[in-house]
Amino acid sequence: MTLLQLRVFVAAARLGSFTAAARALHMAQPTVSEVIRRLEDSYEIALFIRTGRRLVLTRAAEELLPLAEKAIAAAEEAERALKAVKSLDGGTATFGLLRNANYYSMADLLNNFHAQYPHVRLRVVGLNSVEVANMVRSGELEGGLVVLPLDPEGLRFTPLRRDEVLYASADPRHVAAPVTIADLADRDLVLYDAHYGWKDPTRRQLAERAQLEGVTLEARIEVEQSEAALSLVAAGAGDTFVSRAVVEHGSCPPGLHFASFSPPLYDTIALVQREGGSLSPATAELSRLARAMLAEQ
- Sequence-distant (≥ 6) Cβ neighbours of residue 53 within 8 angstroms: 17
* Residue-by-residue DSSP string for 72-140: HHHHHHHHHHHHHHHH--S-EEEEEE-TTGGGGTHHHHHHHHHHH-TTSEEEEEE--HHHHHHHHHHTS
Judged by DSSP in three states, 242 sits in: strand
- Average per-residue pLDDT in the chain? 91
- Sequence-distant (≥ 6) Cβ neighbours of residue 129 within 8 angstroms: 98, 99, 146, 147, 148, 150, 200, 201
* Averaged pLDDT for residues 177-182: 97
pLDDT at 84: 59
* Averaged pLDDT for residues 181-189: 97
- The residue among 282 and 190 whose pLDDT is bigger is 190
Q: Are 137 and 281 in contact (CB under 8 A)?
A: no
The closest alpha carbon to 96, from 57, 45, 130, 61, belongs to: 130
At 204-257, the pLDDT tens digits run: 999 999 999 999 999 999 999 999 999 999 999 999 999 999 999 888 999 999
CA distance 269 to 253: 25
- The residue among 118 and 79 whose pLDDT is bigger is 118
Q: Are 177 and 257 in contact (CB under 8 A)?
A: no
At 71-111, the pLDDT tens digits run: 999 988 887 766 655 557 777 889 999 888 888 888 888 99
